[in-house]
Amino acid sequence: MSGNFHLTILGSSSATPTSNRNPSGQYLNFIDRNILIDCGEGTQSQIRRYKLKLTKIEHIFISHLHGDHYFGLPGLLSSLHLLNQTHEVHLYCFKELKEILEQIFKYSDTYLRYRLVYHFLDPKRPEVIFEDDKIQVSSFPLKHRIACCGFIFREKPSLLSVKKDMIELYKLSPHDIVKIKNGEDFLDEEGNLVKNQHLTHAPNPLLSYAYCSDTVYDELLAEILYNVSLLYHEATFCNDQKERAEVTFHSTAEQAALIAKKAQVEQLLIGHFSSRYKDTGVFVQEAKAVFEKTFLAEEGKTFVL
């Protein structure tokens, strides 16, 4: 395990909180980028409860404007202000959320001491919405009752590591090493071509995480989600409520597992459980029958890749 990926579940309930489940929220530390994904009611309390870094959050992704995915956001943003945060926060959301927040801040006479930078989502097409030297984040449309987007977080390739014994064997210069780290082959003194893979250590597999918040069963997602390291897919209902899932544009645990299987992902994480289910064990049992590597998104649980 590289430890470059830590995902902590803050909430796994759909629609309303229960006595032991909060609405949607996840805290992702991905290669030292601190990211919040959705922000249901009580999210900042959960961040404190699990000893995560509230003031270190740099990016917030809100999948859609049903309250169980953003009602905790105004309070969290206000707390950052009261905690004297100065670094800017980037908010990826639908444009209507800016209107909502501005009205709340207006009538509460709140003027944030830090810069809140908005990045508006396109509900109709996939697009890259953030990128730096280490990670890339894309959004993609989900089929829900209102405009809704999922997110894919991908690790970007890093420079290759040159084997120490190869440096000595071929008397590689600093210039040679830079070229080899960037993937080039090498010509030795006799003019023989030495392939890059002979000179460098095999790179670690690149990590990726896909987040599908609220969506009806949609087989077209399999292509978008293909081969991700970890997939979070909502599983609001079990098969006993399959018709209800379709009417409300949600998925069952079995359907989430079918998407994971078709997309050939490495692991599946399910959450967004309806409050009608007291025992979440039924969800993982149903999903595992289709996709064995299924785990429950349980409050306080941290997944490390």
User: Distances from the Cα of 274 to the Cαs of 16, 34, 253, in angstroms?
Assistant: 8, 28, 11
Q: Quick check: is 68 catalytic?
A: yes
Question: Using an 8 Å Cβ cutoff, are 202 and 51 in contact?
Answer: no
Q: Is residue 283 within a helix (H) or strand (E), and if so which, with residue range?
A: helix 281-288
Q: From the candidates 68, 122, 185, 240, which is the catalytic residue? A: 68
Nearest to 151 by CA among 253, 238, 45, 64: 64
Burial label, 212 (beta-carbon count in 10 A; 0-12, 13-18, 19+): buried
Question: Using an 8 Å Cβ cutoff, are 94 and 70 in contact?
Answer: no
Nearest to 230 by CA among 301, 169, 148, 181: 301
Q: What is the dihedral of CA 39, 213, 123, 56, to 10 degrees?
A: 40
Sheet holding 5-11, edge to edge: 116-120, 89-93, 59-61, 33-39, 25-30, 5-11, 302-304
Please list the active-site residues: 68
